[in-house]
Amino acid sequence: MVFTSLEFLTLFLPLVLLIYVLARPQWRNGVLLVGSWVFFGWLSPMFMLLHTVLTVITWVGGLLIDRAPLGSKSRVRWLAGMIVLNVLVLCWYKYANILAATLNEVLMSQGAMPLEWQRVALPAGLSFIVLQAISYLVDVHRRTVKVERSFIDYATYLLMFGQSIAGPIIRYSWVSEELSNRGLSWRNFSMGARRFMIGMSMKVLVADSLSPLVDVAFALPEPSFVDAWIGCLAYSLQLFFDFAGYSAMAIGIGLMLGFHFPENFNRPYLARSIQDFWRRWHLSLSSWIRDYLYIPFGGNRGSQWMIYRNLFLTMAIAGLWHGGDSWNFLLWGAAHGVALCVARLWTGVGRFGIPRVMSHVVTLLFVALAWTLFRAPDFASALNMYAGQFGLHAFALGDALAATVRPTHAIAAALGVFCVIAPIYQQRCEARFGQNALFCLLGASWPVLGFLLSFALIASRETVPFLYFQF
């Protein structure tokens, strides 16, 4: 069950919201927790069991860290033990398969028989739940937040079905007050419903429409220059609208429930540098790796070499966090780490500034090329796409992709580009037409129209999972 499935839209979400609204305020966390257990259990009972066990362990770990004297070795040991446990669980589910496959490749290259291996399924939401648990434990250790003594409240924070699958990555300090005291209002509910509908339109109308085009392009044995760049640019739009759409839906559900989650994207494809890109893309992850990886590693303190080391290691670890099925994600993170180091070096040595338009183009070009690593199933496939992008195969549009391209793909891509560029003019339009009745009516009606069209598409075809479900 995913957000863009009929069972979620017509059964699960309406029923949970109804029970939640009718329940007494002191019971609402319990209702939300039970709903989250049902949500994960619907995906897989084993997912629910694992998440629940991890929740119990980290809740108890937080209590033990808080009980230990400040500055004591026992406090540090409890924190280190909890972090190691969470990381080991995540690494097992993310990297057991690829490590087993790599070992079997080595064995077969030496003429030995490969090991029998039963593929391990990655539990939905585990990557995000682990990061939230670690941030909570570290903040309790630092005493920047008070330890949560109510298991129901802590479990509600960690397992909330709205955002625990694919973010935003919520810190306990952001929602601690609302966990114990939040109200329901028609204004928040209507704003949340609007955000949910906008997110659903982003996912279904743009991302899902581009999905077949991307799948075909990345499966071509020898993509041409045109094939490779159509696939790369289509995936860049698909990934953004898929992930940003999910974040908008999660923020909308949070508002309907009385929570105020932070924004997770800020027009990243308008970035003018790689640093600017990471200040706009997946904001909750960017701030997490800054506060819980980069700064603890040393941040901007120390020599320039240490700063470059910290940047590279931080992004490489971020790549590992994304990965699981191939080593491409590590390479993707390392590439961004190198790009951040080069950008910092360029600024530090006082080189001449790049014109604004060129800086924007270079940034988008690098990001798109890095997305090729992110999307390709393995390194050989990535090299194959790069060969096409650099013109080492044919130039013209290939037959396979030509047979796949439909007018809907062009419409979806145009809609996606419009949605990326439109915010530039949004304030001007609001300043000019803000009191205009027609403008207000269009602003209120288009999310509903987009939702209805998205719902009709969902009802007429198979559900397309969110891309970040696999991370």
pLDDT in tens, 98-145: 888 888 888 888 788 888 888 888 888 899 999 999 999 999 999 999
* Selected residue with higher pLDDT from 225 and 450: 225
In a domain, 267, yes or no: yes
Output the six-digit token pair for 58.
Answer: 């980290």
In a domain, 1, yes or no: no
With beta carbons less than 8 A apart as the criterion, state whether 272 and 363 touch.
Answer: yes
Instruction: Please compute the mean of the pLDDT values over residues 82-96 and round it to a whole number.
Output: 92
What is the predicted pLDDT for the residue at 349? 63
In a domain, 177, yes or no: yes
Residues 135 and 210 in one domain: no
Residues 137 and 219 in one domain: no
Considering 137, 167, 182, which residue would you say is the last residue of a domain? 182
Q: What is the DSSP letter of 181?
A: S
pLDDT at residue 448 is higher than 90: no
pLDDT at residue 149 is higher than 70: yes
Residues 232 and 154 in one domain: no
In a domain, 59, yes or no: yes
What is the predicted pLDDT for the residue at 49? 92
Listed in sequence order, the residues at least 6 apart from 123 whose beta carbon sits closer than 8 Å to its beta carbon are 44, 46, 47, 50, 51, 93
Residues 168 and 208 in one domain: no
Residues 249 and 325 in one domain: yes
Considering 158, 182, 206, which residue would you say is the last residue of a domain? 182
Number of domains in the chain: 2
Residues 121 and 239 in one domain: no
Nearest to 4 by CA among 208, 217, 255, 263: 208
Residues 198 and 178 in one domain: no
What is the predicted pLDDT for the residue at 30? 94
Q: Is the overall model pTM greater than 0.85, yes or no?
A: yes
Q: Is the dihedral of CA 408, 414, 420, 426 positive or negative?
A: negative
Residues 164 and 294 in one domain: no
With beta carbons less than 8 A apart as the criterion, state whether 416 and 237 touch.
Answer: yes
Q: Which of 322, 336, 393, 409 is catalytic?
A: 322
What is the predicted pLDDT for the residue at 437? 59
Residues 35 and 130 in one domain: yes
In a domain, 101, yes or no: yes
Listed in sequence order, the residues at least 6 apart from 23 whose beta carbon sits closer than 8 Å to its beta carbon are 30, 31
Q: What is the DSSP letter of 470?
A: G
Considering 182, 202, 220, which residue would you say is the last residue of a domain? 182
Q: In whole angstroms, give the CA distance from residue 423 to residue 203.
A: 18
In terms of residue numbers, what domain contains 352?
189-470
Residues 131 and 271 in one domain: no
What is the predicted pLDDT for the residue at 113? 80
Residue 322 appears among annotated catalytic residues: yes
Residues 246 and 135 in one domain: no
Mean pLDDT across the chain: 87
Upper half-sphere CA count for residue 57 (Cβ side, 13 Å): 19
pLDDT at residue 15 is higher than 90: yes
Q: What is the DSSP letter of 302?
A: S
